[in-house]
Amino acid sequence: MKIRKSNPENVAPPVAQYSHVAVIPKDAELVVLSGQIGNDKDGILPSDIETQFANAFGNIRSIFESEGVNLNNVFKINFWFTEQLDRKTYLEEWNKFSTQSPPATTLAYVSALARPEIKVEIEAWAAK
């Protein structure tokens, strides 16, 4: 199965590392994750946004692996942050996760998430 990710020439190119479009084959099974926060395997939530961000990606990776999903088949990711994450840290984690062509992506800064100590939440969609 091949997800087609592209950036049409009739719109401006992406301003970051993402694709404007992701087209899923009609015979694909969708795997949709709830928003993942940055707690570790024991449920402990670190206080800093950098570790929360890395942990949230690790949680997503682990869940997809448990479902037999290849990370190249992630077609949509939504990020919500309550504070600024430095670009270097963001790109280091993103580059570990986005292995080939990047998925369609939304990144937003919000005033709060479900609990005050949560600084990042990531939602991901994939197909298999």
The answer, yes or no, to whether residue 80 has pLDDT greater than 80, is yes
Long-range contacts of residues 40-43, Cβ cutoff 8 Å, at least 24 apart: none
- Token readout for 71 is 């990370």
Give the whole-angstrom CA distance, residue 93 versus residue 76: 16
Confidence band of 72 (pLDDT split at 50, 70, 90): confident
Sorted by where each starts, the structural domains of the chain and their CATH numbers stand as 16-127 (3.30.1330.40)
**For 42-69, what is each residue's pLDDT tens digit?**
999 999 999 999 999 999 999 999 999 9
